[in-house]
Structure 1
């Protein structure tokens, strides 16, 4: 087999492997919240893990804070069950927190995720 054919075959294998990895990643992101939830919620969960998870407990079902006196996302969502209220809250400076800059889209996604954690009101 010529070198060119080997290189082409290797390139196709790598392309196929990359495609499989990307598909698996997309499926895992969609399944991240138990198979439900929107894309905005999944992106919001990623934003929460990346920007907030060092101090806040961001995972569903986990109430304990990572640091003493820091509320969990479930607790924060309980106080603000509307996406608009969460977005406005995220846009204002927070005392006792390091400054953070989120885009409008990141705030909207984070709000969608946080609202998804709010307990159902009866």
Structure 2
């Protein structure tokens, strides 16, 4: 048989205290939720600005990637144009050197013609 100390029913004086404690716990949980809502509302401008900064950083990185790619293409085009210009200069130099060699003795054509006539007559 259980002793009296073990099977004591709750006293009516303890009941309001337990109810008050449970109400306080409920209010505390509601307060924590309200604080969480305040936290979310308080952080929303910072989160929005952070998202804006990330978006701007992404856009700038793409801009710089495109700028580097364009610079590489322009460098290749410049090298190709330089090679084409040098090739044209070589052609001009070769043709002008042939013209200069012919222009060294302007009477050479006449002398060659006279030699051909002389050889034909003999």
TM-score with structure 1 length normalisation?
A: 0.30
Tell which structure's C-alpha radius of gyration is larger: 2
TM-score with structure 2 length normalisation?
A: 0.30
- Which structure is higher in RCO with an 8 Å CA cutoff and minimum separation 6? 1
